[in-house]
Chains A and B, each alone.
Chain A
Amino acid sequence: MIEGFTALYIFMLSAFTGYEVISRVPVILHTPMMSGSNFIHGIVLVGAIVVMGGAETDLEKVLGFIAVALAAGNAVGGYVATVRMLEMFTTSKDKKAA
Chain B
Amino acid sequence: MEIFIQVVYFVAAVLFILGLKKMSSPVTAAGGIAWAGVGMVAASIVAFFEPGVFDYSSNVFLIVLAIAVGSALAYVTAKRVEMTDMPQMIAIYNGMGGGAAAAIAAVELARLAGGHHEMAAVNQVLAVVGALIGAISFSGSAIAFAKLQGLMKKTIRLPMHMVINLGLFALTLIAGAIIGFGHDVSIQLVIVFFVMALVFGVLFTTPIGGADMPVVISLFNAFTGLAVAFEGFVLGNAAMIIAGTVVGSAGTLLTQLMAKAMNRPISGILFSSFGNAGGSGAEEAVEGSMKEIQAADAGIMMAYANKVIIVPGYGMAVAQAQHKVQELTQLLEERGVTVKFAIHPVAGRMPGHMNVLLAEAGVEYDKIFDLDEINPEFPTADVALVIGANDVVNPVARTNPDSPIYGMPILDADKARNCIVIKRGKGSGFSGIENHLFYADNTRMLYGDGQKAVSELIASIKEL
Q: Which A residues fall within an 8 A CB radius of B?
A: 1-4, 7, 10-11, 14-19, 21-57, 59-61, 63-95
Contact = CB atoms under 8 A, between A and B. Distances in A.
12 contacts: A17-B246, A31-B87, A31-B352, A38-B97, A41-B221, A43-B228, A45-B47, A47-B228, A53-B63, A68-B66, A71-B100, A77-B93
A12 to B, nearest CB: 9
Nearest to A38: B94
Interface in B49-88: 50, 52-56, 59-60, 62-63, 65-71, 73-75, 77-79, 81, 83, 86-87
Residue picked from A19, A30, A43, A75, most chain B C-beta under 10 Å? A43
A93 B67 CA distance: 41
B26 A28 contact: yes
A13 B184 CA distance: 35
B353 A31 contact: yes
Contacts of B247: 18, 37-38, 40-41
Given A14-B245, A47-B237, A53-B56, A76 B50 contact: no
A65 B48 CA distance: 14
B236 A3 contact: yes
B314 to A, nearest CB: 14
B36 interface: yes
A40 B236 contact: no
Interface residues of B, number: 118
A90 B73 contact: no
Contacts of B67: 45, 68-69, 72
B29 interface: yes
Contact of A49 (B53, B232, B244, B254): B53
B253 A22 contact: yes
B32 interface: yes
Contacts of B368: 28
A7 B78 CA distance: 34
B211 interface: no
B199 interface: no
Contacts of B33: 36, 39, 79, 82-83, 86
Interface in B344-369: 345, 350-353, 355-356, 359-360, 362, 364-368
Nearest to A64: B107
B249 A19 contact: yes
A73 B62 contact: no
Interface of B: 9, 12, 16-17, 19-21, 23-26, 29-30, 32-33, 36-37, 40, 43-44, 47-48, 50, 52-56, 59-60, 62-63, 65-71, 73-75, 77-79, 81, 83, 86-87, 89-90, 92-94, 96-97, 99-101, 103-104, 106-108, 110-111, 114, 116, 120, 122, 217-218, 221, 224-225, 228-229, 231-233, 235-254, 257, 343, 345, 350-353, 355-356, 359-360, 362, 364-368, 370
B242 A34 contact: no
Nearest to B52: A54
A42 B232 contact: no
B104 A53 contact: no
A54 B110 CA distance: 13
Given A50-B53, A89-B365, A39 B62 contact: no
A27 B343 contact: yes
B39 to A, nearest CB: 8
B38 to A, nearest CB: 11
Contact of A29 (B29, B233, B235): B29
A40 B66 contact: no
A70 B70 contact: yes
A18 B356 contact: no
B370 A35 contact: no
Contact of B221 (A37, A68, A72): A37
Contacts of A72: 66-71, 74
Given A72-B67, A74-B74, A80-B74, 9 more contacts: A28-B352, A31-B351, A32-B23, A39-B36, A56-B111, A56-B116, A65-B65, A67-B103, A86-B29
B243 to A, nearest CB: 4
Given A42-B40, A65-B66, A88-B356, A32 B107 contact: no
B240 A15 contact: no
B250 A81 contact: no
